[in-house]
Each structure stands twice: as C-alpha cells, then as structure tokens.
Amino acid sequence: MSSFRLTGRHVAAIFIGFFAIVIAVNMLMASYAIGGFGGTVVDNSYVASQNFNGWLAQARTQDALGWHPQAQMAPDRHLVLTLTGPQNAAVSAIAKHPLGQAADIPLRFTLRADGRYHAITPLPLGRWLVHWLVRANGRDMRFLERQG
C-alpha cells in the first residue's frame, strides 16, 4: 500500500497547472497568428462581391484571346515567361510576398532570341506571388503565379 494521499492542495495544483498550460499554448498560438498575417485580403468584401461578375467576364474575354503563358524560375532566380500567342508583347510583373512582410518588387522583362521573356533582375530567395501583365495588340492579359 502506498503512503501517498491525494489532498486538496494536490488537486488545486493539478487544476492550476492544467489551465496554465492551456493559457500558455493559446497565447503562443495567438502571437504566431498575429505575427504571420500581413493584412487584409480585400478592404470591403461587399464591394468585392459586387465586382465578381465583372471579373468573370474579364476572365472569359482573356481566355478567348488564346494566349498561353508559362512562367518558370531559372536557376539564377530570374523569371522566364514562355508566351504562346502574340508577338512582341510588353511583359511586366510585380512580385509580392504572400504575407506582405517584404516590399513589392516590380519586374521588367526583355524578349530574347529564343522567343522567351527574361526578367532583368532576379527575385530574392523566398516565396512570391507574381502578378503578371502581358499587353499586345491593344489587349491585356493578367495572371497570377506562385514562385519560390
């Protein structure tokens, strides 16, 4: 037979210890959540919902162009765009950090002899959302790629 006897002090210590752990974990998770979120997705969800049908119409118009972009990251971290469709398009992009923790990086491109568009400057290490804009023949094409 054991000589240990569970007293009210033991129960109180267990109870306080349990809730102290729960509160500490909640505080840690809350600090991670606040520190990892870089801002709002849209400022006003109602206004964004009113524009949704217009965005769908723009997407259908863009799809009807028949342009087929394929973006990739070269080993030297320069973005390369292969574009099936228009000739001599004006290509630009803005690289944005997914959590808004780094400044946006505007990118310019040159058309090389191989027919592909190469970024003039490389992207820094990390994950990036690249917002592309291709202009040719009075038409625009916009698309989004994840890189990194």
What SS3 class is residue 145?
strand
Domains of the chain, by residue range, sit at: 67-147
Provide the mean pLDDT of the chain: 89
Q: What is the pLDDT confidence band of residue 16, given thresholds at 50, 70 and 90?
A: very high
Q: What is the pLDDT confidence band of residue 33, given thresholds at 50, 70 and 90?
A: confident
Q: Please state, in angstroms and rounded to a whole number, the distance separating the CA atoms of residues 90 and 111.
A: 9
19 vs 51, higher pLDDT: 19
Q: Please state, in angstroms and rounded to a whole number, the distance separating the CA atoms of residues 38 and 66.
A: 35
CATH architecture of 67-147: Sandwich (2.60)
The whole-number average pLDDT for the span 27-55 is 83
pLDDT score at 40: 65
pLDDT tens across 85-117, in order?
Answer: 887 889 999 999 887 678 899 999 999 988 899
pLDDT tens across 109-142, in order?
Answer: 999 988 899 999 999 988 889 999 999 888 889 9
pTM of the model as a whole: 0.65
Q: Please state, in angstroms and rounded to a whole number, the distance separating the CA atoms of residues 96 and 19.
A: 41
Chain-centroid distance of CA 30 in Å reads 21
Expressed in percent and rounded to 5, the helix, strand and coil fractions of the chain are 35, 30, 35
pLDDT tens across 49-98, in order?
Answer: 899 999 899 889 888 888 889 999 999 999 999 988 887 889 999 999 88
Q: Beta partners for 106?
A: 94
Q: Please state, in angstroms and rounded to a whole number, the distance separating the CA atoms of residues 108 and 26.
A: 44
